[in-house]
Chain A
Amino acid sequence: MMSGSGNSSGAASTAGADGRHDDDAALTELLSSLMDYTPTIPDELVEHYLGRSGFNCPDLRLTRLVAVATQKFISDIASDALQHSKARVAAPIKDNKSKQPKDKRLVLTMEDLSKALREYGVNLKHPEYFADSPLTGTDPPTREE
């Protein structure tokens, strides 16, 4: 598919009918396959928030297109955060005498997420600590596991 699209972009400059057909092929195929694909983000949610922005389109395929684009956006951020988290785990330990095994769990933390989002233009700053509670510095009595 990628090579075919490369040829079509070269043929588009000649303004041939075949080139135009190939140009539209990607889009038409995408739109036709959207009805078979169920994005992770539900249609109702996307429709509601698009409606709040003034987006008015009765075609469901456009809604699905936006849903797929959003899903791709979030998954790109997640994969970047995963890379950051893996890099952190793979970093050499300073203390060689440590008997504790490296934590190989892949956990999404705010640090990794903020680093990943910075590349996409989203500034996420998490405050270090909250000092307005008298229990600051002590273990909380309950912890959700």
Chain B
Amino acid sequence: MTYGGGDAAREPQLDSQNTLKPRISTTTNQFGHAVSRISVTQILEATGFEHSYRRPIDALADVLLRYISHVGKLSVSYANMSGRIQCNVFDVILALEEIASVHGFAGQSDPNHSLSSSGVVLDLWRVVGKEREVPFAGSIARFPVTRSRQVETSQDTENEVEWGHIPDWLPSFPDPSTYTNNSVSNESSVPRKQMERPHFSFRKFFSVNGSDGLAPSGNTNVERENEMVQRNPYLVPPLPHRERQVSDMTIPSERKAVSVFETFAPVIEASGGEIVEERGVISSKRPAVRFRIGVGTKSMSKMLSLRDTGMKEDLWTVKEEEMDSKKRRAEMILKESMEKPNELAQL
């Protein structure tokens, strides 16, 4: 059988290197597809075809694989309907009959026909008995090939008892002493790695000045444990019920309110702005924002009317302390608008 490069009536598929490439399935089972392509080619040759193009063979190979999967799925469903998980020869025959029912087979109309002698079986018998046997070209190994997994053995599993009901791939049990209720004295039997206890006390953490409070001390394990029991406020036994002398609370003396000005003085000086302190409100001279206010707006019309009446100060002085800087800016805008009344029409 010869392969054609492509159909005469259709353009062949070109990839980036301008070479013809066969259209293979993009799924992971490319090996199965390649093997089925060989089988399809052999069947076509046995049927009588001398030549073929590549795409029909790929299509038939795909049909072959789908057919096998379809038969398997139907057989399994028939087996499950009968309450079994392993398939029977009659499950397979029923599945084949269902597929062949589209085309029709001998004895299909009889609802009580025996499965052993159904038309499907007879057709297969004809294939096996009479047709020329065409074995598969070459031999293939059993696939998919799975790598033998190496079981990881660690030190923990050396002393482990082998349980029959627990599979090997589960992690090993922890050391029994970690979860059994024993006294604290048997510290030596407990490896330090498994038992993680907090290594710092809160008092120590807060009492250290200017150094990293979280640094662990250089004590040994035993001393550290005793320390923990004594110093750890959470492990201290609760106070008995009685009156206690409580230390007086030290109220911090009244100091000056933190001035924002003092905090940001270097920043302001660096920017080179004027500093005006008004009860903690920092204001520096910012470049004036030029507003183009329309003629129709209320504020402008009001401003103009106030200008005539001479009551403009009342509009702007709401709170003198807070609005001082804003007042200055607004006055600037007002001056400009008064000097150039013609520009008001422009927006």
A interface with B by C-beta (< 8 Å): 1-2, 5, 8-9, 12, 22-27, 29-31, 33-34, 37-42, 44-57, 61-62, 65-66, 68-75, 77-79, 81-82, 85, 105-110, 112-113, 117, 119-122, 124, 126-130, 133, 135-137, 140-145
Contact = CB atoms under 8 A, between A and B. Distances in A.
Given A53-B73, A130-B13, A9 B117 contact: yes
Contacts of B117: 5, 8-9, 12, 22-24, 26-27
Contacts of A57: 86-87
Interface of A is mostly: helix
B87 A56 contact: yes
A126 to B, nearest CB: 7
Given A5-B122, A56-B87, A40 B18 contact: no
* 8 closest A-B pairs by CB: A53-B72, A55-B72, A108-B52, A78-B47, A143-B5, A27-B116, A50-B72, A38-B135
Contacts of B260: none
B331 interface: no
Contacts, number: 240
Contacts of A56: 76, 85-87
B135 to A, nearest CB: 4
A27 B89 contact: yes
Contact of B39 (A40, A51, A53): A40
Given A50-B72, A69-B71, A40 B46 contact: yes
A33 B128 contact: yes
Contacts of A73: 64, 67, 99
A127 B6 CA distance: 13
B332 interface: no
B53 interface: yes
